[in-house]
Amino acid sequence: MKPKRTGFIGLGNIGKPMALRLAADESIDLRVFDVAPEPVAELVAAGATEAESIGALGNWADVICVMVRDDDQVRSVLGEVLKDLQTRNDFIPVSFVIHSTVAPETPAELVNQVMGVCGFAVEIVDAPVSGGPMGAADGSLAIMVGASSEAFKAVEPVLSVMGTKVIHAGELGSGTKFKLARNLLHFVSFTATAEAARLAEAAGLDIKVLGDVVRHTDAITGGPGAVMHRDTTAPIPEGDFWEGVFSHVRALGEKDLGFAIQLAEKLDVDVPLARLAADRLGPALGLQGDHDG
């Protein structure tokens, strides 16, 4: 099988290590583009070829991976691809894969951008990533793909070089929604982490050691994802298996949150997320009770 002709645009903190994974794989024929010369030179040294322009990539590649800063840059890159796009003899569309995290409506808007120029010559795929620069460097990213079944099949061989968990989240736009839900948990957890650190600091504890403990135990238990096993957020029916499991979780959680809030009050530390969690933990787990609001 001949190597997959792949273009990569955007060689930043995450894009560059992603592209380096592709450059090292024999199944990929890689050409790269970036406005900064240094990462391009590094990719060329690793075995990639420098693309003359974004437009030239559009007329060569089977798959174009895009990891740029924001929605406007994604639109600009697509515009460059479309500007000089030529009809291909095989009539197979170029897969334009967006790894940047964009607004939920952007993938559909990009389809409209394509349709206004060249019909179905370019297939938009949204495939944001999770795992950061570390996951990009070792090829262990989670990649959440929104695309038709045919488009997913076309890009999966390329994506699987960069990630160990490549999921077909659904139709176009689903990858972006998946990433936004994942990052909601991510950044709310960061905010709660700061609250916990303030409490620990006020209690005279070493918050760096606390961080070590959190990372250690989350690696064992799965962290917040440990409770994400049901296929619905609806209330748990009485007698269901998960009722017993999450009732135990709730009892422990409400007890410990109560003690943490008491400590915070004693130390004059504001813990609004802890109070909110204590009030909403049961319903969040799918449980209902007399003291739920």
User: Active-site positions?
Assistant: 179
- Contacts (Cβ under 8 Å, ≥6 apart) of 234: 286
Angle at 221 (CA atoms; ends 219, 226), nearest 5 degrees: 115
Distance CA 66, CA 126 (A): 10
Residue 218's identity, in one-letter code, is D
| CA–CA separation, 262 and 4 (whole Å) | 60
Between CA 33 and CA 50 the distance in angstroms is: 6
Q: What are the b/e assignments for 23-54, b being 16+ CB within 10 Å?
A: bebeebbbbbbbeeeebbebbeebebeebeeb
CA atoms within 13 A on the CB side of 236: 20
User: What is the C-alpha to C-alpha distance for residues 6 and 29, in angstroms, rounded to an integer?
Assistant: 6
- Which of 86, 87, 110, 83 is CA-nearest to residue 97? 110
CB–CB of 147/125 below 8 Å? Answer: yes
